[in-house]
Amino acid sequence: MSETREMLREAAERLFEKHCGAETMHRADGGEFPQALWRALTEAGYAAALVPESAGGPGLEMPDALSLLFSAGRHAVPAPLAETMLAGWLLSSAGLVPPEGALAVAPVREGDVPSVSRECGSWRLQGKASRVPWAAASAAIVVLARFEGRNLVAVTAPGDCRITNGANLAGEAREDVDFSGARCSAAAETLIDPAALHALGAVMRSAQMAGALQSVLETTVQYAQERVQFGRPIGRFQAVQQNLAVLAGQTAAATAAAEAGIEAAARDLDSPAVAAAKIRAGEAAGIGAAIAHQMHGAIGFTQEHRLHFSTRRLWSWRDEFGNEAYWARRLGGAVAAAGADRLWHGITAAG
């Protein structure tokens, strides 16, 4: 691991440890935006981690910046850090300077194609975007929109849009946004296309899932060492040990896949490693969450226990920015088209 990344990781762990305590988590679960956490991670430069130094960002290399999301996932950070990073990246690609505050990005679902039009010298957004993370709570919604066959980054205010409230299984806001003529405070052309936006979002969720699995593994191992049944800690039973070994394997696989996805994303968002990250981490999420709950028994199934902050996110994140089947269909289609005799070449080229 690079020295920068290790220093960043240690700092992020300290920050999230301090600001994602039980009270913050439960209040965020009830729909309250965690202001203190958000201030702290903005001051640390995390929200603008993908914004270049020239545009006011902290000047991190892309892989180092994305690696912050392992820590964010470990602590189930109940705020739009990944989304604001993604918005910053998108804005920078169009030469726009990110506004202050939490930012939302749209579209996040493949079928949604918002567009912009120019009316009386001002830009206006048309169309809809579904399941937009944190749309209403954001300071601005950053939209990748079509305009005369090109891609534009347009910035609008949530107050100008019709927003239908909603949430994912973890209670994180996921809202349907109807732009229907919303005014844009800025708009500029970008070379990023919707597929690339989708791909970077998928890599981000992969890293978050790997982080969440790391924390689920630690929590579950610790519980197995403390919980006593039949006169000994349940972690002494082989049946339990075998399950925890599987959980450890899935966690290691998700972490490795997400790391590979992050490295590839900095070079080429069309890389097979990007698809592989979301496929592998998403599969691990389902298996890992199931084992963690089985090992915790009834207590892990309650609201007062903290396990669900991670597992409900795992169940949500695996389906966001394309689920395993979505990415496997794409990757498998490309592999089949290249042909059987290129299969191994394709795998080694993926890193």
Partner 1 sequence: MASMDNLRFEPPPPFAAGELLRAEVRAFLAEHLPKRSITDGVGSWGGSNREFSRKMGARGWIGMTWPKRYGGHERGALERYVVLEEMLASGAPVSGHWVADRQSGPLLLRVGSEEQKRAILPRIAAGECSFCIGMSEPDSGSDLASVRTRAAAVEGGFRVNGTKLWTSNAHRSEYMILLARTGEAGEQRHGGLTQFLVDLQATQGISIRPVHNLAGEHHFNEVVFQDVFLPAGNVLGEVGGGWQQVTSELAFERSGPERFLSSFTLLVELTRALGPDPSERGRIALGRFVAHIATLRRLSRSVAGMLQAGTNPAQQAALVKDLGTTLEQEIPEIARQLIDEEPDRDSTRDFVAVLARTMMNAPSFSIRGGTREILRGMIARGLGLR
- Contact positions toward partner 1, by CB under 8 A? 1, 214, 217-218, 221, 224-225, 235-236, 238, 240-242, 244-246, 248-249, 252-253, 255-257, 259-260, 272-273, 275-276, 279-280, 283, 324-325, 327-333, 335-337, 339-341, 343-344, 346-348, 350-351
- Residue 156 pairs with which residues in a beta bridge? 141, 184
The Cα 207–Cα 306 span in angstroms is 20
Smallest distance, Å, CB 109 to partner 1?
19
Give the residue among 89, 96, 167 at the shortest CA–CA distance from 134: 167
51/281 with CB nearer partner 1? 281
Which bin fits 347, alpha (ψ -120 to 50), beta or left (φ > 0)?
alpha
11/157 with CB nearer partner 1? 11
Smallest distance, Å, CB 273 to partner 1?
7
2/180 with CB nearer partner 1? 2
95/249 with CB nearer partner 1? 249
76/142 with CB nearer partner 1? 76
19/330 with CB nearer partner 1? 330
Smallest distance, Å, CB 323 to partner 1?
10
Q: Structure tokens of 11?
A: 């700092």
Smallest distance, Å, CB 259 to partner 1?
6
Chain centroid to CA 18? 21
The Cα 42–Cα 33 span in angstroms is 14
The Cα 310–Cα 277 span in angstroms is 19
Smallest distance, Å, CB 280 to partner 1?
5
The helix, strand and coil proportions of the chain, stated in percent and rounded to the nearest 5, come to: 55, 15, 25
Smallest distance, Å, CB 252 to partner 1?
6
Q: What is the 3-state secondary structure (H, E, C) of 147-164?
A: ECCEEEEEEECHHHCEEE
Is cis: bond before 58, omega within 30 of 0? no
Give the residue among 9, 4, 2 at the shortest CA–CA distance from 210: 9
